[in-house]
A and B are shown apart, each in its own frame.
Chain A
Amino acid sequence: GAVVSQHPSWVICKSGTSVKIECRSLDFQATTMFWYRQFPKQSLMLMATSNEGSKATYEQGVEKDKFLINHASLTLSTLTVTSAHPEDSSFYICSASGRGLNEQYFGPGTRLTVT
C-alpha cells in the first residue's frame, strides 16, 4: 500500500520559535496533501488542503500566516508553525492522495509541544 512518512515524530520548542514538519509520500506521487490537527480526546480537524505547485486552501479559522504550507514537489509537503505558542501544542497529521488512488493515506503524526 501507499506509504506516507512524517518528520519529526515529536518536537518540543520554545514559545515564539518556528517549527517545520515534513510530510513525504514514499512510493507514490501525491498530487494532493492534507494537514490535520488533533487535540487530546478530539477528532481530527482539517487545517488545509494543498495541491502540488499551488497555494494551500485553508479551512475557516486556520491562520494561513501562522501555519505556512508548502507543497513544492509531488512527494513533499511541509507545515511550518510560525511563532509557536503553547496553544499550538497538538498532534499534527498529514495525509496524501494521488492519481488513481481513491483514498487518503495518512502519516504517523507529529507531536508538537510548545513550552
Chain B
Amino acid sequence: KQEVTQIPAALSVPEGENLVLNCSFTDSAIYNLQWFRQDPGKGLTSLLLIQSSQREQTSGRLNASLDKSSGRSTLYIAASQPGDSATYLCAGTGAGSYQLTFGKGTKLSVIP
C-alpha cells in the first residue's frame, strides 16, 4: 500500500526566503504527482500537476520536480510571501488509476 511522507511537518521562514518542501513515496511507481495548497478550514487548491511523462512543472514562483527512480518530489517556493502561509499537500496516483494518496502535509508559515 502506497504511503506518502512529507518533511518537514511544519516550517517557519522569514518573508523573502526561498524554501523547499519534500515528499516521498514508499512505492516509486507513481503515475501522476500533484501538489496542493490548503488554507485553514478550506478545500484544496491544485498548484502543480506533474504527469507521467514529465519531471517538473513551474508556475510563477513555484517549481515542483519528481524523481520517479527514488520516489521523491520537491516543491520549491521562491521569494516567499506571507500569503504563501498554508498547508501544502502532495499526492500521487498509480498507473491507470485516478485514486490519489495524500501525505499529511507541511504547514508553512511565512513571517513578515
Contact = CB atoms under 8 A, between A and B. Distances in A.
Query: Are A and B physically bound partners?
Result: yes
Interface of A: 6, 32, 34, 41-46, 49, 91, 93, 95, 97, 102-109, 111
A106 B44 contact: yes
B30 to A, nearest CB: 14
B100 A102 contact: no
Contacts, number: 50
A111 B98 CA distance: 24
Nearest to B4: A43
Given A43-B103, A93-B43, A102 B89 contact: no
Contacts of B43: 6, 93, 106-109
Nearest to B105: A43
Contact of B100 (A6, A42, A46, A91): A46
A102 B49 contact: yes
B42 A108 contact: yes
